[in-house]
Structure 1
Amino acid sequence: MQLPQRINAFVKLGEFLSQFSNELIQKKETVEHNAVFFDGFKHQLKLAEEHNGWFTAENIRFALQSWVNALTVANLETWLKPYTLHVNSPKRVAIIMAGNIPLVGFHDFLSVLITGHNVLVKQSSSDKHLLPYLAKYLEYVEPGFKGKITFTEAKIENFDAVIATGSNNTARYFEYYFKEKPSIIRNNRNSVAVLTGQETDGDLKNLSEDIFRYYGLGCRNVSKLFVPKNYNFDAFFNGMYHWHPIIDKAKYANNYDYNKAVYLMSEFDMLENGFLMIKEDASYASPIATVFYEYYDDANQLKQKLKADTNNIQCIVSKGFMENEIAFGTTQKPQLWDYADSVDSIEFLLAI
């Protein structure tokens, strides 16, 4: 199976997903193998939503649309153009996936297969319904993938390299357990936004997407703000307001109520608007329904701090503040070449 065949298979997968990425699911006659897979995937979407209360229909659709946008011939070819994709001896690459947002491990899955390797997938119990079904679709549209994709719930064995994602604690376990194998080990990271006070209403409204999408559970979600001394948060809260229906979601509301009670009993100073709390805190990782903030006096000192804390930060959202910044509203819309932890997984896979 050559690279054009692999690309074509994933393009067809994107076309299949496009039927499910809008509120109104629409069957398209041009999509291959719908007679076999369309109704079944509708059922998998329902199971995913029922199994994990954080996986709302809206957030699942958002994740699917992200992959619909990514899986085009133009995007795949642009992504892969810098590499020489020639694997003489395919390896078996194990992927240990997180389960914080829908299909969070799909990029690793795609990367292994697109480079010509075989994949052994150990999924999180929180996100176990969608990917195996999509893998079956891939095998249907491109029979060359048959035998190259394996899912397991047991201890992973008989593999040549590993890509593992987990918490800081599990990452230490992964580093020890996989020390004899080529590996990419990912742990907790968080994203930050730097505000200067010059942001427009539109900028702050876009920032709300970076904060609330997926309930803030992704490493690309903004969990920490850096603001200048004497910053007035009124404009910030105005920008957040259109997300107020989020408090109607039971799991989010329970977390909001719990964390608010903890802060009040601990007599912490915080500001809140009925569905979001902000609290001054030096940490990067904030609880659900909370965003931490920290004041800065000197922009250059802040830049140095952010550079020094690179290993804790996934994305920096700002407007004209840093070279590697990400635009407001785009943290959960990464391109294929926006690698997690800035580790080039294609380069890694071609070197094993």
Structure 2
Amino acid sequence: MRAAVLQEYGEPLAIESVAPPDVENHGVVVSVKACGICRSDWHAWQGHGEWADDKVPRGQILGHEPVGRIVETGDHVTAFEGSERVAIPFNLGCGVCDECVTGHGNICPDDRALGFESDAPGAFAERVHVPNAAYNLTKLGESVAPVDAAALGCRYVTAFNALVRRADIAAGEWVAVFGCGGVGLSAVQIASALGARVVAVDVDDATLDLASKVGATETVNGAETDDVPGAIAALTDGGAHVTMDALGRQETCHDAVESLRRRGRHVQVGLTTDAERGEIALPTDAIARGEIDFLGVRGLSPTGYDEVLRLVESGVLDPGRLVTREVGLDDVSERLAAMSEYETNGIEVVTEL
């Protein structure tokens, strides 16, 4: 089968013919119909994460936002007959540990990170293997197009987890989203759909225009604003109830926390680059005095996908609206390179494998 393989960090991925995956007893093999291109793929491609023992090895097939149809099932799989359309999380839980059985499989200590670990080859390929299928996979209704389901990826469901499960946003609250790439735009759409008022923060006017179209009440161009927290305080009559840093940079994280009102909640979604190497300075005294909550977010538990898909199928959420480009497997390297200069807009999806 064809697959996009990381051979050298920062260099074009090699499009190779590789052996298709074997199926494990409790796993399935899925024919990939679409797969999102995410900034986490860019981090892997750049060789980031060494400071957290999270550097993706050379030889890895990247891609972690797939949707597809089951073509082979393991001997012990009874939850699927073998031809269902399924949504696939990137954080593949073991299904039996305390975290998994209590609905937190996204932080399973024995998980496999799809597309990031040698024992979990990714989905920039014609086929992908999914272990512990009964726990990890969610059946996908025929009404959801493959490109829309791929847009759920890790970005959309991560934004959902951040806002709904971690920050517990309420209708009428102000939510400020810093960085309106795929996960940021997802957060804008989700927060707006659930009745919150959203301030979108970015440095690109075209991106902010798109944020307005998908639900932002207000926008702030960080490149043209000397005091971003002050601007947000003015727009929200005292500060946001919830902020999200979708970039993982010192400036955006610090400004997001400073933009909160008392007892506000900050959700950290963006991972750092080699500029910060996993460490960001925070206004600790202000966090303590204002009783600010600082919440980490990693994907969404596989057990939470049903809730998201119900909202998609009912029309409350529309991840497909965030898709701005469909590309082929041969184009992935070019699109990853575009991320280095923040030249991508919205969510891009591989639909030709």
Fold similarity call, TM over 0.5: no
- TM-score, with length taken from structure 1: 0.29
Q: Which has the higher contact order (CA 8 A, sep 6+)?
A: 2
- TM-score, with length taken from structure 2: 0.29
Larger Rg: 1
| Greater percentage in strand | 2
